[in-house]
Structure 1
Amino acid sequence: MSDKSSLSRLDLNLLVSLDALLTERSVTRAAERLHLSQPALSASLARLRTHFNDPILARTGNTYELTPLASRLSEHTAAALDAAQRVFDSQAEWDPSQSTREFAIYGSDYSFATTGRRIASLAAERAPGVRFRFMMHNPQIVDEAVNRLRGADALLMPHGFLTDLPFTDLWNDTWVVIASDDNEAVADGVTLEHVGRLPWVFTYLSRSAFTSATRQIQQLGIEPRVEAVVESFLAMPLFIAGTDRLGLLQAGLADYARNVGGIRVLEPPFDATPIHNAMWWHPVHRRDPEHEWLRTLAVEAASGIEPAAA
Structure 2
Amino acid sequence: MRNNLDIQSIDVLVKMYELSNVKLVANSLDKSSSAISKILSKLKIHFEDPLFVQTKSGFEPTPFMEDNIGYFEHILSNLDAIQHTSFNPQTLKQDIIIYGAPLFLDRFADKLYLEIRKQAPVAKIFIRQWNLEARSRLIAGEDAVLFNAYDETLPQVMMQKTICDISPTFFVRNNHPAHTFQELQAFPLVITGNASQDHFRYPLLQRLNAIGNKVICHGEIENTLAIENLVRSSDIYSVTMGQQFPEGCRAIELPSLSDFNLNLAMIYHRVKQNDPQKKWLFKLSEKIINHQ
The aligned amino acid for 1:267 is: I
Further displaced range: 242-251 or 232-241: 232-241
CA distance in 1, matches of 2:289, 2:33: 49
TM-score scaled by length of structure 2:
0.62
Query: Are 1:173 and 1:277, in contact at CA under 8 Å, matched by a contact in 2?
Result: yes
CA distance in 2, matches of 1:98, 1:208: 35
Query: Are 1:213 and 1:248, in contact at CA under 8 Å, matched by a contact in 2?
Result: no
Structure 1 gaps of 5+ residues are 9-21, 23-47, 53-86, 306-310
Match of 1:280 in 2: 267
CA distance in 2, matches of 1:106, 1:218: 31
C-alpha distance 138-218 of structure 1, shift in aligned 2 (>3 A): farther
The aligned amino acid for 2:253 is: P
What SS is found at the alignment partner of 2:125? strand
CA distance in 2, matches of 1:108, 1:278: 11
CA distance in 1, matches of 2:33, 2:152: 39
TM-score scaled by length of structure 1:
0.59
C-alpha distance 151-224 of structure 1, shift in aligned 2 (>3 A): same
CA distance in 2, matches of 1:205, 1:134: 16
Q: Identity of aligned pairs, percent?
A: 13
Aligned-residue CA RMSD (Å): 3.9
CA distance in 2, matches of 1:268, 1:249: 12
Match of 1:289 in 2: 276
1:194 aligns with 2:184: yes
Query: Are 2:130 and 2:196, in contact at CA under 8 Å, matched by a contact in 1?
Result: no
Query: Are 1:200 and 1:247, in contact at CA under 8 Å, matched by a contact in 2?
Result: yes
Match of 2:211 in 1: 220
Query: Are 1:153 and 1:291, in contact at CA under 8 Å, matched by a contact in 2?
Result: no
Pairwise CA distance, 1:110: 1.6
CA distance in 2, matches of 1:304, 1:119: 12
Q: Which one of 99, 102, 116 corresponds to residue 95 of structure 2?
A: 102
Q: Which one of 238, 242, 249 corresponds to residue 264 of structure 1?
A: 249
Query: Are 2:97 and 2:126, in contact at CA under 8 Å, matched by a contact in 1?
Result: yes
Match of 1:19 in 2: none
Pairwise CA distance, 1:232: 3.7
Query: Are 1:159 and 1:276, in contact at CA under 8 Å, matched by a contact in 2?
Result: yes
Deviations, residues 140-189 of structure 1 (Å, cap 9, x unaligned): 644x47624x1132111112444523222212232222213332x21xx1
What SS is found at the alignment partner of 1:240? helix
CA distance in 2, matches of 1:218, 1:140: 31
Match of 2:241 in 1: 250
Query: Are 2:131 and 2:196, in contact at CA under 8 Å, matched by a contact in 1?
Result: no
More contact order relative to length (CA 8 Å, sep ≥ 6): 2
